[in-house]
Amino acid sequence: MADETLSPKKLRRAGLKRIAPLLEELRKLEGLRESRPAVFAIGTTPRVHFHYHRDGTIRADVRLSANEPFTPFDVSDEAGQQEVLGIVEGLVGEARAQVERCARASRR
């Protein structure tokens, strides 16, 4: 079976406009940085990137834990985009809480 995904360059042309609202919200999250267009990391660990499929679907690959492989989510529609946004907000919140716990522990 042939690979049905398009290159990141083709994603930019074909799909970025469709996921623009999601990308805008991800860019607002403090603690999440866009290391390349539509590729986001928490710290140095890549956590979410996107693929455009030839059938028109757009998939977000999200790393739910720094030690796990990416999990795919369909973000072709608003419901999928909201789901991924909620997941990433949770990941950023967890990372922020971890930093705060480490800072408190080092002050003891």
Average pLDDT per block of 10 residues along the chain, 108 residues long: 55 77 97 94 94 86 93 96 98 86 78
Report pLDDT for 63: 97
Burial of 41 (0-12, 13-18, 19+ CB in 10 A): middle
- Tell me what pLDDT residue 6 has: 55
**Pairwise CA distance, residues 69 & 71, whole Å:** 7
Residue 73 CA to residue 90 CA, distance in Å, equals: 16
Which pair of tokens denotes residue 85? 């946004």
pLDDT of residue 4: 59
Domain segments of the chain as ranges: 8-107
Looking at residue 1, its pLDDT comes to 45
